[in-house]
Amino acid sequence: MVSYYSDDFTDTIINEIRQEYEVLIPELSYIGGKKNPLTKNLVESAYCLALYRVLKNATFDGK
């Protein structure tokens, strides 16, 4: 992202993604932890959802 947008914009987006992810994690259902191989997929899906939500609402003004 830094090659297309400013450092400040990129840092803001990353921080917003991190905040959204931290909100989502406690809402995930317990599906067995390390005993269930799909736990990793669930956690990664939460990250992707956080990424999607932030980028969907972001305003990209270019460089």
Q: How far apart are CA 48 and CA 21, in angstroms?
A: 9
The answer to whether position 49 is within a domain reads yes
Q: How many domains is the chain partitioned into structurally?
A: 1
The answer to whether position 16 is within a domain reads yes
Q: Which amino acid is at 53?
A: R
> pLDDT value at position 25?
97
What is 1-63 written as a DSSP string? Answer: -TTTS-HHHHHHHHHHHHHHHHHHGGGSPP--GGGSTTHHHHHHHHHHHHHHHHHHH------
Q: What is the value of pTM for the model shown?
A: 0.84
Residue 39 contacts residue 31 (beta carbons within 8 Å): yes
pLDDT band at 2 (very low <50, low <70, confident <90, very high): confident
* Domain, as residue range, for 50: 7-57
For the stretch 8-52, pLDDT in tens is 999 999 999 999 999 999 999 999 999 999 999 999 999 999 999
> pLDDT value at position 62?
54
> pLDDT value at position 55?
94
